Structure 1
Amino acid sequence: MASTKRLAALLAIASIVVGACGTSGQTASPAGESVAPTTPAASAEVTPAPSAGAETYPRNETLYTTGKQWGPPSTWNPLDPNAAMGTVGLQYESLLLYDPLADTWDPWLAESATWTDPTTYTIKTRSGVTWSDGTPFTADDVAFTIGLGKIKAVGWNIWDYVTEATATDASTVVVKFSDPAYQEWALWTYDKPILPRHIWESKANEDILTDTNANGVGTGPYKYKTAAEDRMVYERNETWWAKAALGLEAKPRYIVDIVNGANNVALGLLMQGGIDLSNNFLPGIATLVDNGYVSTYFPEAPYMLSGNTAWLVTNDKKPPLDDPQFRLAIAHAVNVPDIVNKVYGNIVKAADPTGLLPTWEKYVDTAQRDALGFKYDPAKAASLLDAAGYKKGGDGFYTNKDGSPIKLTIMVPTGWSDWEAARDVIVASLIAAGINAEARIVDYNGLVDARNNFDFDLVVNNEVQISNTPWTYYDYMFRLPLMEGAGKNRNYGGYENPEAWALVQQLDKTPVDDVAAMQAITSKLQKISLTEMPVIPLWYNGMWSQVSNVVWTNWPSDGANRILPATWNGYWQMGAVKMLTQLQLVQP
């Protein structure tokens, strides 16, 4: 039975979570409606109630997760970025794994993968691997999957620089390049899944994403079992190759991923052991960690690993935001310490002025950053505006240089409570610095439409995730030519700097093991970003991960098992799959 102390903690935390709702995760996601939490009944362990008639699973064989899935699972197509949690990583696997915490690569479906000359990449596939239908995995599967990149609907651009991918024998693939994009290719090798040719060859056309692929055939540690409106269920693949090859065995027999709902419900289930791992933002979690009721990656602030940078994107096509000095003034005006301390309760960290994530620390030119970087300093913001020729009107607010009023609006999606609170801090900061501003209330779809059509002043965005390379960050910031329409996912502010874009392309064509060359290029890019401020880094969005030790233990942490503790897209291939092999049942 749950202790009286646990129930008391739930009652105490209730006051914190009233009015709070879910917000941005590995990708910023819409929230459920805010409702007041109820105190759950005492119980040693609680299982999320399945749909009527749904199968139940032994609690000591089942891992319950939540945090990735917004809405009922509807596709298990590994080429679809909206595929159900675990489709890629648990069911379909990549050639390599990349560990961003250790900055190391692990052979996975590839036993080895090396550049044998500057334009030739040779892959040796792992022997003894079979697809879940018993068909042997071979080099043909790898060459076929690379070839799928020629299909426009798949959305890969690898054939911009790949010229040939050939299975020269049953275990060898030779990939030829014309002008290698080393950074992009390295990302592809761990981020993208390998598909079975014997299943997908007949589907390899522009309609390939229409196949929902329920109960698909993969090589991974889990197989599709069933799905419902509120959950996705996987069952362990008892013939997973890694057991014999690497001595790895997934411990839970079943994984049940619960569709995200109201955060107070998730918090109650987590407290009682009904949810084992929550990858949602949960308000008040620091209080629960400090009192020993749940665990996080770090035992104290910031509690979470950093998963992405939250930016203030400026519309660089619109006066006065087209003025770098005005953007720098905004950077100094925003009270980021209040966002970190008051909005998030110290479960996030302020971003480095370069915006580079902590895992990219070795690429930060610290001397240049210290000389050119910004910090919260309203007096500095005022001096920048004054020096740039902006003057205050009779209302105390700065005006444009022609004397016309300035009134900026800032957008975040309605319902993302932490971002709404951060937005309010930003608005208050700008007003205090003499820059008139107000919130623009808009739902997620409305925000995307406005942002992608330059119909905005300021918008918070966090779409660059942790990865093996800072190239992804700079491609996001400086991408040219400017993208248009619904597919726009880079350079939302419209900043145009051909010199910076040339450096980004140079970085892309730099081998990933040439760290010195990468550092030299990123230093130049940082100088441009720190002086031009095309986007303003504010804080590191947390890799939200709260775990219960009621049923399972030995979770990833800073002290041991330094593994990413997230179920979000792409994270399984960055080593999170190993978390499942390290879990241990709590002994009765």
Structure 2
Amino acid sequence: MTSARRSVLRRPRAGAALLLAACCLAAAGCAAPAAAAPSDSVRIVLPDEPPTLEPCDASLTQTGVVVRSNITEPLAERDPTTGDLEPLLATSWSQTAPDTWTFRIRDGVRFSDGTPFDARAAAFSIERTVNTSIGCNVDGYVFGDREVRAEAPDPGTLVVTTGEPDPILPLRLSFVEMVPTSTDTEAKVRQPIGTGPYRVQRWDAGTRLVLERNPEYWGTPPAYAQADYQWRSDASVRAAMVVNDEADIATGLGPEDGAEDLGVSYPNNETTALRIQATEPPLDDIRIRQAVGLTVDRDGIISALFEGDGDPAAQLVPEGVIGHNDALAPVGFDVDRARALVDAARADGVDTSVPIQLIARTGQFPRIDQVVQAIAYQLEQAGLTVRIRMMDTAEQTEYQQRPFPPDTGPYLLMIMHGNQAGDAAFSMDQYLRSEGFQSSYGTPELDERIAAAEAASGQARQDALASIFADEPRLVDQYAYIAHMRGILARSPSVDYTPDSATGDEMRLAEMKPRTP
């Protein structure tokens, strides 16, 4: 996107109403009524408080929805509609050698603390994300074990080299948020400094987070002077806040949550699945993993619990992502067959009585409680013992990312994966490789196939990635896929904002403006 992408508009607004007492009682952690918003503030209510605002964790949905392209910015942004990679803090790039890409850095950009952004800061940001020990989520998600080095031969030129040729390096680097060279390289930061249209004004942990316009912003100032974030775990409460003019945007809603005509359904890139901790008995037996997939009633869950807002999933990425395999069909719902597989494993000495934890995050998606209860019931019908554990974001993240908690025994983890980049390499590196950041299992043979596919380009890349999705269930079977989701948010009539497939991962405040009468 270019600096001309946004315009300045303001809106008159009456003071916000107090949050209804009933809503406050229903919302976990609701300590006080909603405060009146400034007339030029947009008020957003999220399902969860961000676990961190650390820019190198911006690939986490709960972090990225606040941080990405609001507080910090990358070198380039992918247009979620066209899939094109567009210049942002870099104005151009080219592959100057098989293992080298050269970027031209935009002039005249400053961080919110007034320090200049240049190639040296870009190189620092990449090195901090990829080559330090602070455990960046982006490193695991985007780069894995790839060798990446960044240098700044002059203030306007960034040179990035890789251990092996990487045809999609600019796309990978679009996940690296730029930070100043003063940023800590030994620990993650709580309140980042960036080049985006907003900066952190205040963060009252557990209550609210307020962003304000960045006076140093290089582009057109955003329409709203402030963005006021709150969080409520109950989706119906979030919807009611918009209906009652106590918030302008509410995310993570279901069709039944009461947004009425203020609800907006949009295609997102999230796929829900159960990740099977395949190293732990009895889940280390592929027959048990196959049984798990057969007990998921995808059509029933989508129809009864998602009210039809989704499509049964047979792979980790939805249509439109490079590598998506159009020929794959979801595993059928067949509890009898699942029970036969469990019985066969038991007859061969597998202890199928070991309790299996079914872990999910509170508020992960609408009706998550009912979904896990339905799956647990069918797993029990197949002869397995299941214990449901609902966790908050911080606790669930420990089970989602390596290193996993030790001595936890077998567990199934409800995941939501959004491939925001539009290429299956980002999904496979993190979720399918043996040592992927969010992978529980794999094989050397599959790792080699993934590496070969990711080195290809064009139709060869598409075909190779698609074949891996076709073969992974037979070779590894680490996931029981559930659904490709659609998102629903509530939007105030006074706000002009159109959600798109990236909204679930990054909600760009600069794309919001007051609706003209």
Q: Corresponding residue for 2:3? A: none
CA offset digits 1:568-587 (Å, max 9, x no partner): 4xx2xxxx42x633533253
TM-score relative to the length of structure 2: 0.79
Q: 2:372 aligns with which of 412, 423, 432?
A: 423
Cα 1:327–1:96 shift into 2, 3 Å: same
Q: Displacement, 1:241? A: 2.4
Q: Corresponding residue for 2:43? A: 64
Q: Corresponding residue for 2:295? A: 333
Q: Displacement, 1:178? A: 2.7
For the 8 Å contact 1:48–1:275, the answer to whether it is kept is: no
- Matching of residue 250 in structure 1 with residue 250 in structure 2: no
Q: Is the partner of 1:153 in helix, strand or coil?
A: coil
Which sits farther off after the overlay, 440-449 or 261-270?
440-449
- Matching of residue 237 in structure 1 with residue 189 in structure 2: no
Q: Corresponding residue for 2:239? A: 267
Q: Corresponding residue for 2:132? A: 151
Q: Corresponding residue for 2:82? A: 102
- Matching of residue 503 in structure 1 with residue 449 in structure 2: yes
Q: Corresponding residue for 2:69? A: 89
Q: 1:354 aligns with which of 315, 319, 337?
A: 315
For the 8 Å contact 1:162–1:175, the answer to whether it is kept is: no
Q: Displacement, 1:65? A: 0.8
- Matched ranges for 1:26-41 at <5 A: 32=28
Cα 1:232–1:84 shift into 2, 3 Å: farther
Give me the whole-angstrom Cα distance separating, in 2, the residues matched to 1:442 and 1:564.
Answer: 26
- Matched ranges for 1:573-588 at <5 A: 576-577=507-508, 580-581=510-511, 583-587=513-517
Give me the whole-angstrom Cα distance separating, in 2, the residues matched to 1:401 and 1:20.
Answer: 49
For the 8 Å contact 2:80–2:501, the answer to whether it is kept is: no
Q: Displacement, 1:418? A: 2.4
Q: Displacement, 1:255? A: 0.9
Q: Displacement, 1:256? A: 0.8
For the 8 Å contact 2:275–2:479, the answer to whether it is kept is: yes
Q: Displacement, 1:477? A: 3.5
Give me the whole-angstrom Cα distance separating, in 2, the residues matched to 1:343 and 1:234.
Answer: 35
Q: Displacement, 1:334? A: 2.1
1:169 is aligned with what amino acid?
A: D
Q: Displacement, 1:497? A: 1.6
2:201 is aligned with what amino acid?
A: K
Give me the whole-angstrom Cα distance separating, in 2, the residues matched to 1:281 and 1:474.
Answer: 28
For the 8 Å contact 2:212–2:227, the answer to whether it is kept is: yes
For the 8 Å contact 2:259–2:490, the answer to whether it is kept is: no
2:446 is aligned with what amino acid?
A: A
Identical residues among aligned pairs (%):
18
- Matching of residue 409 in structure 1 with residue 353 in structure 2: no
Structure 1: gaps spanning 5 or more residues: 1-9, 22-31, 35-46, 51-55, 244-248, 299-304, 392-397, 484-488
TM-score relative to the length of structure 1: 0.70
1:190 is aligned with what amino acid?
A: S
Q: Displacement, 1:476? A: 3.4
CA offset digits 1:525-576 (Å, max 9, x no partner): 1232232422111123544532222x213x215xxxx56334x4xx2xxxx4
Q: Is the partner of 1:429 in helix, strand or coil?
A: helix
Q: Corresponding residue for 1:175? A: 160
Give me the whole-angstrom Cα distance separating, in 1, the residues matched to 2:361 and 2:116.
Answer: 49
For the 8 Å contact 2:265–2:488, the answer to whether it is kept is: no
For the 8 Å contact 1:297–1:556, the answer to whether it is kept is: no
- Matching of residue 296 in structure 1 with residue 253 in structure 2: no
Give me the whole-angstrom Cα distance separating, in 2, the residues matched to 1:342 and 1:20.
Answer: 24
1:435 is aligned with what amino acid?
A: G
Give me the whole-angstrom Cα distance separating, in 2, the residues matched to 1:296 and 1:57.
Answer: 23
- Matching of residue 476 in structure 1 with residue 430 in structure 2: yes
Q: Displacement, 1:472? A: 2.6
- Matching of residue 344 in structure 1 with residue 282 in structure 2: no
Q: Displacement, 1:109? A: 0.5
Structure with the largest fraction of strand: 2
Q: Displacement, 1:62? A: 1.3
Q: Is the partner of 1:366 in helix, strand or coil?
A: coil
Q: Displacement, 1:110? A: 0.5
